[in-house]
A = this chain, B = another copy of it.
Amino acid sequence: MTAKVIDGRKIAKNLRSNISDEVKELVSKYKIVPNIVTIIIGDDPSSKLYLRLRDKACEEVGIKSSHAKFPADVSEEEVLQTINNLNDDNSVHGILIQFPISKHISQDKLINSLNPEKDVEGFNPVNMGKTLIGDEYIIPCTPLAVLTILEHENIDLKGLDVTIVNHSNVVGKPLTSLFLNRNATVSICHVFTKNMKKYTSTADILITAAGVAKLIKEEHVKKDAFVIDVGIIKTEDGICGDVDFDSVKNIAGKITPVPGGVGPVTVACSLTNMVKTYKNCVE
């Protein structure tokens, strides 16, 4: 028996179809097309694929996506001024900041300056705080994608042993809050963990986002576990995840592939959040 392979593209397609219907309804009601602005600083090549995928997804569901582009050496003040203008602009219904950005600009300052109601990625402290305390509102896209996949597979998280390999603000920390809010038992590992296998090999659900190709092998995984691979690594053999898929699929119960797993669901979840921020602005 090998694991059930989760089809992220199919889940994403269903999500986009529902979002498309909802956007049509909202536009017909409010006569305003959702308008989302992405702030891009510099010319980071790793952002380009993701931006292209997201813009295409926006177009498909009827959301207007535009870019506010700055050269890599733009001043922090100028970007903050633009964010303030976008916060106040009634014709803008959501703001994203494309990371990475230039090192001379404070990522925290930009995120803190976003109007929480227009914060598509849910990284502003107000939205992160709401995620933490269980008053969930705009949830960061990757954690939301993981949750969406688990819900799609009808997993009741209460009492399950969950291990997360990542402790970043973007993935591990908000994901921890989401799992605790659903009464799972949660362990969080990362590069400083002494014995990762101790935590991964007994987990009912294993989420990994280390960005290290084939870090997670058969020996790290409990029989019949649900393995969700958030890693995306470019290798000579193409795109792969954190999980040694060919061996782990022999022990896991369910597994997400890379590509075609969490990635497309994350893009769809950013559309879900755009609809939320749009509603904040027009309702």
- By a beta-carbon cutoff of 8 Å, the part of chain A in contact with chain B is 108, 123-135, 158-159, 161, 167, 169, 172-174, 176-177, 180, 183-190, 192-194, 198-199, 202
Chain B residues near A184 (CB-CB < 8 A): 192
Q: Are B124 and A193 in contact (CB under 8 A)?
A: no
| A133 and B169 contact, CB distance less than 8 A | yes
Residue with the highest number of chain B CB atoms closer than 10 Å, among A108, A159, A192: A192
Q: Are B134 and A130 in contact (CB under 8 A)?
A: no
Residues in B with CB closer than 8 Å to A172 are 180
- 15 A-B pairs in the complex with CB atoms less than 8 angstroms apart: A108-B135, A123-B133, A125-B127, A125-B129, A128-B132, A132-B132, A132-B169, A132-B173, A158-B192, A176-B180, A176-B188, A185-B190, A185-B194, A185-B199, A187-B187
Contact assessment for B190 and A187 in the assembled complex, using a CB-CB cutoff below 8 Å: no
In the assembled complex, the Cα of A185 lies from the Cα of B130 at a distance in Å of 23
CA–CA, A188 to B134, complex, Å? 16
Known: A133-B125, A193-B159. A198 touches B202 (CB 8 A): yes
Contacts of A128 in B (CB 8 A): 128-129, 132-133
| Pairwise interchain contact B183-A173, C-beta atoms closer than 8 A | no
Query: Which B residue sits closest to A111, measured CB to CB?
Result: B133
Q: Known contacts being A185-B187, A185-B189, A188-B180, is A129 close to B135, with CB within 8 Å? A: no
A10 CA to B193 CA, complexed, in Å: 33
Q: Determine how close the nearest CB of chain B comes to the CB of A125; give it in whole angstroms.
A: 3
Provide the residues of chain B in CB contact with A108, threshold 8 Å.
133, 135
Asked if A192 and B126 make an inter-chain contact with CB atoms under 8 angstroms apart, the answer reads no
In this complex, what residue of B is CB-closest to A176? Answer: B176
A133 to B199, CA, bound (A): 23
Interface contact B132-A194, CB-CB below 8 Å: no
- When distances are taken between beta carbons in the complex, the residues of chain B under 8 Å from A173 are 132-133, 177, 180
In the bound assembly, the distance between CA atoms of A193 and B180 in angstroms comes to 11
Residues of B within 8 A of A198 (CB): 202
Verify A183–B187 contact, CB threshold 8 A.
Answer: no
The smallest beta-carbon distance between A236 and chain B, in angstroms, is 32
Contacts A132-B173, A194-B159: A186 and B187 contacting too (C-beta < 8 A)? Answer: yes
Residues of chain B within 8 A (CB-CB) of A132 are 125, 128-129, 131-132, 169, 173-174, 177
Q: How far is the CB of A15 from chain B (nearest CB, A)?
A: 26
A180 and chain B: residue at smallest CB distance: B167
Q: Which of B135, B167, B176, B193 contacts A125 (CB 8 A)?
A: B135
Partner of A134, one of B161, B169, B174, B192: B169
Instruction: Identify 9 new A-B residue pairs, CB closer than 8 A, beyond the known A173-B177, A173-B180.
Output: A108-B133, A108-B135, A126-B129, A127-B129, A167-B183, A172-B180, A180-B188, A185-B193, A186-B187
